[in-house]
Chain A
């Protein structure tokens, strides 16, 4: 019969037993010598800290231990952390790995000790846990005048796989008003605290329902979802935008909302939330706070030394069950968060940031937009997070899209405000792509405009306009030619001056020759243009003729001043006489030039 019985047990059972033995083996002999538990229920979170003195009463060294959570509490767990209290008052945090313990319900974590514990040795461990949505409003619906009461249901004892020698439990509440609390072991209550214990010799996995019903008017707001978008630009900016859905998860408002009472009586709607503070990084700039229907005018910004504080005031006070939605965004300088070595880049930025004190985020979505062309992306997260399929994002001047990393996580609290590091490679040449694109675009634009202006698209011929255009182009040419010719004279003056100093007749003669030659060609060109103007029937031809006449006189003057200089150098004329004649000549020239100028202006 016995044989049959063993036959019926599936082999998996043996495997499980083996597992259990292994798990209990490494912990065998461990005892919680002294446990100090603190239940902080003063906010809308349940923060449970336990300071445990572990002792190894076994025969062998122990390299790790197991942490346990009650099955009722486990789904609410937002954060768990364990640290060893060293002698030098320096806490060393331990790495936790989730495990299972056969035959026991709940959630278990395996903590690895930095150095194994010898038989008989003791160790002080601090375990910190944060639970969200543990405090249930009761009654669930209250009126505006009523105060908010909540119920906490937990365990009087430390839930542990090891026997406990002695333990105390201290509960911190949000107010003095307590409706009821379980009275195990005659607890003492003073002001806002209830102290249980000490309980002696508690066996492993002990549970005894603790229930506290008390007043708690702290802001019961929950971020039901937040989407945090971080857009990195290599031009020196990181843009952060958070889209937040906020909900008051306390007792629902029953009946009317009276603005009169709310404004008159300070304790009316005491559990409602009017505003809260969001702390942004110190270098945050261009902060905006808006929603679907525009800018929210009720907010204050305060720039402090080490942070930027935004007083976020939703459009309306949040009562129980009410919700709101808003967007907050700001810019950060990238040099504080982006590091590079050649083409290797590393971005170190907070995965989630502060929204309000004691925050709870039910659902977080992080979108990290990297610059276009970033490759070999590798992400280091401070805690496990679910990565979704990468996306592509297109914005101004993008051609093949920016890579977007998407990650989600549920149930986060303040302890999750930690840095994420993203490594990627980026070719710096790609930085030039966008400016070049703009340049090219403008080039094409101007080019088309030039082409459009140069070509005649009209189907009818307008002879008058054509003549006008022709005349305009001819006068344009005349202008440049005349200016050039005037330039020749100025050049000749320089030649003469140099001659007066160097007395080099050869240079003067060659200068005169070039003047003659160039002047002839220019004058011929102008005459030709004048003839064309005449042919077009424009009266400007006469003016050009006048310019030609004046120019002849001008040229004569230039020649004369040249001759005078020669005579001076040859000693045929005295210096005083030369200066006099030069003055009159230049005066005449000035007059001629100004007359030519005024004629040119009239063209």
Chain B
């Protein structure tokens, strides 16, 4: 911005006597290049999905396309395996692999990992440029620049496009907007007919697929993933029918606060932009209105879809802010305050100049606070990899909990190559990518029954769980436990979902959610807690030997800092398991499943 100002000053002073057109281009270029400057930070992968994508990309670059296409992954979903080559959308991987090979052809020896890490920021800078062009088609260059500047910092989009989030979502937007703006360019050139044709084609395609969808629906041949789409149409569907979708925090309905947190100013300027669009109805504005309103609805259904909303919010707010500014800028009397002009003041619009400058100041203030808010949110909430946790110590210093990687790395180097690790599905991708071990279930939740089986093992007593674990050939079990550090998204807090999902299939019909509650209907881990809970495998794995640990001063040993309770079942030994590893802060606990004893009898 400073260079922009400098440049404007220089043109004013006549150092650079550029024509207005050139000045305009220069300013646009400067603003866009700043907006498109990638937001880079750590060289780590952040999101869970990224690990899987990274792993597949590495496979593609190392093994080549054909092997990738025929890739059957036996490291996940043991014993079923997963056909990866045929079931994933390879666009992302092919893009980065191609980039990698092109760079290496020129002897720019960048690690494939870095390509993956920086792909999202690269594409997000494209998004900024494309947003400019798209909004320019809708209104004018001013609105385009504003929208581009807004999308460059909007937290809702940065959360998915920051360096290290390597996912389709971060990269898809720029491509989509290229299509849109091209379509409108076509329309504005005058080849409306072609555009309409194109639209009709897309609509027929959509219609056909809808018919097909309904046909499938009637036949009852819906594959599990369509559940997610169901829940889009009917937000309560997942809650009532598919616990596995409802259990994901990303799939929860969005709260008002998160709208403000992720969008701030845009929430208020969005209606202004909508108003402008309604005032100037054209094909393009109707499109953006529809786009805006539908994404508003979708984002309200799932937090995850905030990503869809954020760019259209930027576009509409850009239009809105630009409209407000142009309206009042016109009224601003920039000529020198001569005595003559004061006399000529419009009697129908008193203090016109003051109102205009006031409005512009207010807008400037809003825009500045928006930038500060975005920077703050990004640095606080979206800039730390979810794999490394941090907390403030008593003296204000930062304490790092790197327990996840500690555990995964231990698994990688100190367990047999063919060990099978059972854990809740949330950690599946991380374990395959970091620990390089076979897992039972992962974040690609395609097989509900299999996940349910794991849930049943976790929710059963040791004896029952041992049967399931023997059946699934499990050698290690991994749980996340936050009781010592106060990490609240641990497995005990997720446990009710395991019970629900475990009980949702035939083999787990005996697992009933209400058995895990106290008679008064509470979920408690202390002495009052239900005995079923206090003796299930998950409870025992999390709290094994925890009863002896003093966590807080003036509290009895075994005080759980997440549940704020002294645990109810303290002195117990494990029959079928053996503690294999526990990380420094007890965040991850790994147990080894004991073999059958010499006589081949069960341990219990």
Contact B402 A315 (CB under 8 A): yes
Cβ of B586 under 8 Å from chain A: yes
Nearest opposing residue in chain A for B581, CB measure? A257
B14: chain A residues at CB < 8 Å are 597
Per DSSP, are chain A's interface residues mostly helix, strand or loop, or mixed? loop
Nearest opposing residue in chain B for A264, CB measure? B548
Cβ of B549 under 8 Å from chain A: yes
Which residue of B21, B409, B580 contacts A472 across the interface (Cβ within 8 Å)? B21
A298: chain B residues at CB < 8 Å are 402
Contact A260 B109 (CB under 8 A): no
Cβ of B413 under 8 Å from chain A: yes
Contact A297 B583 (CB under 8 A): no
B412: chain A residues at CB < 8 Å are 292-293
Cβ of A322 under 8 Å from chain B: yes
Contact A257 B579 (CB under 8 A): yes
Inter-chain CA distance A603–B19, complex, in Å, is 8
Interface size class of B (residues with CB under 8 A): 35 or more
Check A256/B406 contact, CB under 8 A, given A294-B44, A396-B108.
no
Per DSSP, are chain B's interface residues mostly helix, strand or loop, or mixed? mixed
Cβ of A476 under 8 Å from chain B: yes
Cβ of B189 under 8 Å from chain A: yes
Inter-chain CA distance A324–B415, complex, in Å, is 11
Which residue of B43, B109, B408, B545 contacts A395 across the interface (Cβ within 8 Å)? B109
Contact A315 B410 (CB under 8 A): yes
Cβ of A1 under 8 Å from chain B: no
A543: chain B residues at CB < 8 Å are none
A600: chain B residues at CB < 8 Å are 17
Contact A316 B44 (CB under 8 A): no
A105: chain B residues at CB < 8 Å are none
B578: chain A residues at CB < 8 Å are 255-256
Contact A315 B406 (CB under 8 A): yes
A36: chain B residues at CB < 8 Å are none
Cβ of A325 under 8 Å from chain B: yes
Which residue of A259, A294, A479 contacts B17 across the interface (Cβ within 8 Å)? A479
A476: chain B residues at CB < 8 Å are 19
Within 8 A of B (CB), among A325-342: 325
Check A322/B109 contact, CB under 8 A, given A259-B583, A315-B402, A479-B17.
no
B388: chain A residues at CB < 8 Å are 297
Cβ of B4 under 8 Å from chain A: no
Output the residue of A295, A399, A597 with the most chain B CB within 10 A: A295
Within 8 A of A (CB), among B539-588: 545, 548-549, 578-584, 586
* Interface flags, B402-434, vs A, CB<8A=1, else 0: 100110111011100000000000000000011
* Interface flags, B336-378, vs A, CB<8A=1, else 0: 0000000000000000000000000000000000000000000
Contact A325 B413 (CB under 8 A): yes
B17: chain A residues at CB < 8 Å are 479, 483, 600
B44: chain A residues at CB < 8 Å are 294-295
Inter-chain CA distance A321–B413, complex, in Å, is 10
| B192, chain A: closest CB distance, angstroms | 15
Within 8 A of B (CB), among A472-516: 472, 475-476, 479, 483
A321: chain B residues at CB < 8 Å are 414
Within 8 A of B (CB), among A278-309: 291-298
| A442, chain B: closest CB distance, angstroms | 14
Cβ of A147 under 8 Å from chain B: no
Cβ of A394 under 8 Å from chain B: yes
Inter-chain CA distance A603–B43, complex, in Å, is 51
| A103, chain B: closest CB distance, angstroms | 48
Nearest opposing residue in chain B for A253, CB measure? B414
Contact A293 B107 (CB under 8 A): no
| B566, chain A: closest CB distance, angstroms | 17
Nearest opposing residue in chain B for A291, CB measure? B409
Contact A257 B107 (CB under 8 A): no
Cβ of A409 under 8 Å from chain B: no
Within 8 A of A (CB), among B26-49: 43-44
Contact A398 B400 (CB under 8 A): no
Cβ of A415 under 8 Å from chain B: no
Inter-chain CA distance A253–B412, complex, in Å, is 17
| A16, chain B: closest CB distance, angstroms | 50
A258: chain B residues at CB < 8 Å are 545, 579, 582
Inter-chain CA distance A229–B14, complex, in Å, is 57
| A368, chain B: closest CB distance, angstroms | 18
Inter-chain CA distance A223–B317, complex, in Å, is 60
B433: chain A residues at CB < 8 Å are 293
Which residue of B21, B109, B580 contacts A396 across the interface (Cβ within 8 Å)? B109
Nearest opposing residue in chain B for A395, CB measure? B109
Cβ of A122 under 8 Å from chain B: no
A255: chain B residues at CB < 8 Å are 578
A322: chain B residues at CB < 8 Å are 410, 413-414
B413: chain A residues at CB < 8 Å are 322-325
B43: chain A residues at CB < 8 Å are 294-295
Inter-chain CA distance A316–B403, complex, in Å, is 9
Contact A460 B189 (CB under 8 A): yes
Inter-chain CA distance A297–B388, complex, in Å, is 10
A475: chain B residues at CB < 8 Å are 19
Inter-chain CA distance A320–B574, complex, in Å, is 23
| A573, chain B: closest CB distance, angstroms | 36
| B437, chain A: closest CB distance, angstroms | 13
| B587, chain A: closest CB distance, angstroms | 11
| A259, chain B: closest CB distance, angstroms | 4
| B486, chain A: closest CB distance, angstroms | 17
Inter-chain CA distance A256–B108, complex, in Å, is 47
| B31, chain A: closest CB distance, angstroms | 20
* Interface flags, B380-407, vs A, CB<8A=1, else 0: 0000000010000000000010100110
Check A397/B581 contact, CB under 8 A, given A315-B405, A316-B409, A479-B17.
no
A397: chain B residues at CB < 8 Å are 107
Which residue of A398, A479, A603 contacts B107 across the interface (Cβ within 8 Å)? A398
Which residue of B108, B109, B579, B581 contacts A316 across the interface (Cβ within 8 Å)? B581
| A301, chain B: closest CB distance, angstroms | 16
Inter-chain CA distance A476–B17, complex, in Å, is 10
Contact B409 A324 (CB under 8 A): yes
A297: chain B residues at CB < 8 Å are 388, 400, 402
Nearest opposing residue in chain B for A322, CB measure? B414
B406: chain A residues at CB < 8 Å are 315-316
Inter-chain CA distance A483–B406, complex, in Å, is 72
Inter-chain CA distance A178–B579, complex, in Å, is 32
| B399, chain A: closest CB distance, angstroms | 11
Inter-chain CA distance A325–B409, complex, in Å, is 9
Which residue of B189, B400, B586 contacts A259 across the interface (Cβ within 8 Å)? B586
Inter-chain CA distance A297–B545, complex, in Å, is 27
Inter-chain CA distance A396–B110, complex, in Å, is 9
| A375, chain B: closest CB distance, angstroms | 20
Nearest opposing residue in chain B for A394, CB measure? B107
Contact A260 B400 (CB under 8 A): no
| A600, chain B: closest CB distance, angstroms | 8
A472: chain B residues at CB < 8 Å are 19, 21
| A479, chain B: closest CB distance, angstroms | 7
A294: chain B residues at CB < 8 Å are 43-44, 405
Inter-chain CA distance A259–B403, complex, in Å, is 13
Inter-chain CA distance A597–B13, complex, in Å, is 11
Nearest opposing residue in chain A for B414, CB measure? A322
Output the residue of A257, A294, A394, A397 with the most chain B CB within 10 A: A294
Output the residue of A260, A298, A397, A475 with the most chain B CB within 10 A: A260
Which residue of B107, B409, B548 contacts A260 across the interface (Cβ within 8 Å)? B548
B109: chain A residues at CB < 8 Å are 394-396
Contact B19 A316 (CB under 8 A): no
Inter-chain CA distance A396–B105, complex, in Å, is 11
Inter-chain CA distance A366–B578, complex, in Å, is 42
- Beyond the given pairs A258-B579, A600-B17, 7 more chain A to chain B contacts, judged by CB atoms under 8 angstroms and listed by A's residue number, are A256-B578, A257-B581, A291-B409, A294-B43, A297-B400, A315-B406, A479-B17
Q: Which 7 A-B pairs have the closest CB atoms?
A: A259-B582, A256-B579, A315-B406, A394-B107, A256-B578, A293-B434, A260-B545
6 A-B pairs with CB atoms under 8 Å apart are: A260-B545, A260-B548, A295-B44, A323-B413, A396-B109, A597-B14
